[in-house]
Amino acid sequence: MRRQSKIPIGVLTAILVVLAAGACIIFLFPSGSKSVVEDFYEYESEAEFGKSWELLSSEMKQRFPNRADYVQNRSHVFLQHMDVETFQYDVGRPKKVKNWRLNKDGRQH
């Protein structure tokens, strides 16, 4: 005879609840609690301009194609020219812009 093991209904329910909660967290917060925008400005505030350059969109990298130049310019403007010692930012809720798209040149129309 074959012996079947029975899983108590409470244990099965607990497992399903944990799996459902995990799935909700993954789908609601896929990249964790921080957004790319927050990461970008955090790097900027810490003068980690090379890391912030890595987060630029491909369109922005066309405007600033050389990472070293971007780092040097940001450093010069913020740290030397403007003599910035503090940095504060606030990321609000995103707003969808209707009918927004880029043309071939990367410009809005």
For residue 11, being part of any structural domain is answered with no
Domain count across the chain: 1
Which of residues 6 and 96 earns the better pLDDT score? 96
Residue type for position 67: R
pLDDT, one tens digit per residue, over 45-90 is: 888 999 999 998 888 888 889 999 989 988 887 777 777 777 777 8
Share of the chain above pLDDT 90, in %: 11
* Report field, pTM of the whole predicted structure over 0.85: no
Which of residues 1 and 39 earns the better pLDDT score? 39
For residue 65, being part of any structural domain is answered with yes
The confidence score (pLDDT) of residue 66 equals 92
For residue 15, being part of any structural domain is answered with no
For residue 92, being part of any structural domain is answered with yes
Angle at 64 between CA 36 and CA 32, to 5 degrees: 10
The confidence score (pLDDT) of residue 54 equals 93
Cα–Cα distance measured from residue 23 to residue 29, given in angstroms and rounded to the nearest whole number: 10
For residue 10, being part of any structural domain is answered with no
Q: What phi and psi values does residue 82 have, to the nearest 5 degrees? A: -95, -10
Cα–Cα distance measured from residue 10 to residue 61, given in angstroms and rounded to the nearest whole number: 54
Longest dimension (CA), the chain: 84
Q: Considering the chain, what is the average pLDDT of its residues?
A: 75
